[in-house]
Amino acid sequence: MIYSFLLSLLFFVLGFGVFANENAELNLARSISDELINSVREVLLKEIQKGGVIGAVQVCSEMSQEIIKKHQQKHNVYIRRISEKYRNKENAPDKYELNILKKLSSMKDIPAEYYEIVQEKDGKYLRYFKTITIQPVCLYCHGKNEIPDDVRNFLKQKYPDDKATGYSVGEIRGAVSIKLKIKDDTRN
C-alpha cells in the first residue's frame, strides 16, 4: 500500500517537473515570437514613415531574413516566419508547418497562438506558432487592389513567383514558427 502511494507520488512529481519545463518553454517561445514580430514591425513602420510603402517593401525584402537570423542566433532556436502563400521561398513551410497552417486557416476564429508537444527521435519538442493576421496596413503589400503600382512592379521584379497577395483584413497571413527542445530536469 505504501509502495503504491510512493510510486504515485513519484510519478506526480516527475510529471509536474516535465509540465513545468513545458510551461517554461512555452513562455520562452511566446517571448521570442513577440520580440521577432515587434522587431520586424518596428523596421517596417520606420520605413513607411521615411520612404513610404515602397521603401518599407524594399527594406522588408532585404532585412526580414536578416532579422530572423539574428533572433535564431540570439536565442539558439529554430525560428521562422512561414506562410502557405509565401513571397520569399525561405518562408515556405515544411510539411509539419503546412499542416498546422491549414488547420489554423480552417478555424472559424483564428487563435493568436497554437502549440503542440511532439515526440521526435531525440526527445520532446514544443512546436509553437504565433499567428500573423492581415491588418489594414498589410494590404498595401499583400492586398488585392490596394497595392500601389510602384510596389506591384517592385514585387514582380524581386519575386516573380510571389504568392503573397490577394488577402483581406483578418485573414491569416502565416505564422512565426518556433521549435524548442523540452529539457528533462526530472533526472536531477
pTM of the prediction? 0.83
Position 111, amino acid: P
Domain, as residue range, for 166: 2-187
Nearest to 105 by CA among 185, 25, 172: 172
pLDDT at 12: 38
pLDDT at 131: 97
pLDDT at 56: 87
Which residues, other chains included, contact 126 with Cβ-Cβ below 8 Å and sequence gap of 6+? 22, 25, 26, 29, 115, 116, 117, 178, 179, 180, 182
Residues with pLDDT less than 70, the chain? 1-21, 185-188
Dihedral of the alpha carbons of 152, 157, 160, 162, in degrees to the nearest 10: -40
pLDDT at 185: 55
Nearest to 128 by CA among 5, 8, 22: 22
pLDDT at 5: 37
pLDDT at 55: 86
**Total count of domains within the chain:** 1
